[in-house]
Structure 1
Amino acid sequence: MSPIKTLVIVEDDPLIAMDIRERCENAGYLVLAVTGSVAQAEREFADHCPDAIVTDMDLGPGGSGCEIVEAIRERCPDIKVVFVTGTTDPMKLERIATTKPEAVLSKPLPPHRLEDALQALG
């Protein structure tokens, strides 16, 4: 397993997206894009396969993180997936589980939790 180096962030809240980006970059990862919807993310993935995706579940009117994970895995079957979500809804958590993510982290993120999860990916 080669270490992950590149990732895309899908988060509809700009402040949370900025925090996630900063954490990832400070940990040494190259953030290829930050998007806030399924449609934006699909455009970002059109030409390349990042090593990982960090996504929220609820993207407001922009869809769900599960939708983008399923779409990207059609083109990039080896992509690693980390959900960062504030949901506690059992049905949504079950839906997340169907995508077989490498990690599911709860918001708010404690210090170093995201970084530790990314490091565990490889």
Structure 2
Amino acid sequence: MNSLKVILGLKPRVIYPGHGPAVDEPIARIEEYISHRELREQQILKVMRDTDKALTSMEIVKIVYKDVSEQLHRAAEFNVCHHLDKLVKEGKISKLTEPQTIKYKII
């Protein structure tokens, strides 16, 4: 998120992503990325507020991405883990390390 906001502040006229074609209207695309990530974060927080127990990242994925093929859940978990790390750093959730599993709980 910080990187996207830095790039947005530079007001580029074109950006060259790591894959795919150049983006000629990068401001709108970056704002779209930021908005999408903020929405996803709110979905994760809602799931955590709506439960009384600590959840693994995959349990969160199965709720937030319930309409997405299970074949894509591992990839989705990668993104959810980034959100969870951010939320832990911000003090919004706690990370609980249990034997052979990591769970997260709303504070």
Higher strand share: 1
TM-score between both structures, scaled by the size of structure 2: 0.25
Greater RCO (CA < 8 Å, at least 6 residues apart): 1
